[in-house]
Amino acid sequence: MTRSRPVGPALALALALVVLGAACGAEPRPDAVGAGIDAELRQSSLDAARGQMQVWVANDTGAAQVPTSVRYLDDRLAGPLEGDRLRPMAAGAQIGFGLPLPLRPPCGAEPAPRGAQRVEVRTDEGDTWRSAVADETDVLGRYLASRCLELAVAEVAGLRWLPVRHDGRRGSTGTLTLAVRPTGEPGHVLFLDTVSGTPLLGAAGAAHWSPGVRVRSDGEPLLVPLEARAARCDDHVFMEGGGSTAFRVGLRLDDRGGQLLVRMGERATASAVAFVRDSCGL
């Protein structure tokens, strides 16, 4: 929550005198820390679909601020993330700035330990405000785990949703199909254990799907059919964010387990919406 400002010649001379006085036995004065900014990370389902998170900055400086840059710094990243949609911040306001997430983050054999999380806000007045960033749900850590697993799975097989097949009758079920295409590189085995439903679609007759499919990285392409039902029959379901057609696939890659978010493309999404409307009679 501290602020720094460029140092001019006169101020530099004054600081030199203070340092000289300290050398002669004067008590050093601690850095002044007062009101400034506070920050926290958030991510909605729409943010996740856009490949971003947001840093929300509260302007407690007592005056309006006009940011010229917003930078998020984290020990788990190779460099800072630059905030977008910069706009003025009224005194007392809290504003979210989008942070595009890296498509190729550092991925090691083990997750990187969580360290310092900071934000720097530079303003048109030449000030730099700094603050620690609250992140109760570990937004970045969850993304890194998911993205690194996604990259590892992509080296073994591609996963893609095909359009939903259905007969158009009210109350009917449809068929979701997950297309799996191995990369052809030998030496890896992928198990598709579970698939969770979404606000739009759920498993017919069960809490979730349990395909139990074993995929060799040098095996043949295969199709995984899943019987689906409309999860809800009201118009509000079509107003859900990007999570309405994003399915969590529980899997194991060799000796590593986790969940992978597999989103529908535009064509598959359109077919899923059409199925729910027909099945619900909307």
Q: Where are the domains of the chain?
A: 33-145, 155-280
What value, to the nearest 5°, has the Cα angle with vertex 198 and ends 196 and 201?
Answer: 100
Which has the closest alpha carbon to 111: 83, 78, 146, 137? 146
Which has the closest alpha carbon to 180: 150, 216, 228? 216
End-to-end alpha-carbon separation of the chain, Å?
52
Residue keyed to tokens 């979701």: 176
Q: What is the pLDDT of residues 46-90, one digit of tens each?
A: 898 899 999 999 999 999 999 999 999 999 999 999 999 999 999
The pLDDT, as a whole number, for residue 4 is 60
CA distances from 68 to 17, 122, 193 (A): 33, 6, 47
Residue keyed to tokens 């190779």: 78
Q: Tell me if 31 sits within 8 A of 18, measured CB to CB.
A: no
Q: At 149, phi and psi to the nearest 5?
A: -65, -40
The pLDDT, as a whole number, for residue 46 is 87
Q: Is 202 helix (H, G, I), strand (E, B) or coil?
A: strand
Residue 221 DSSP code: -
Q: Tell me if 36 sits within 8 A of 131, measured CB to CB.
A: yes
Q: Provide the sign of the torsion angle of the four alpha carbons 17, 23, 24, 30, taken in this order.
A: positive
Do the first three CATH levels of 33-145 and 155-280 match, i.e. the same topology?
yes
**CATH architecture designation of domain 33-145:** Sandwich (2.60)
- Looking at domain 155-280, its CATH class is mainly beta
Q: Which two tokens stand for residue 276?
A: 């729910």
Q: What is the pLDDT of residues 122-166, one digit of tens each?
A: 999 999 999 999 999 999 999 999 899 999 999 999 999 999 999
pTM over 0.85: no
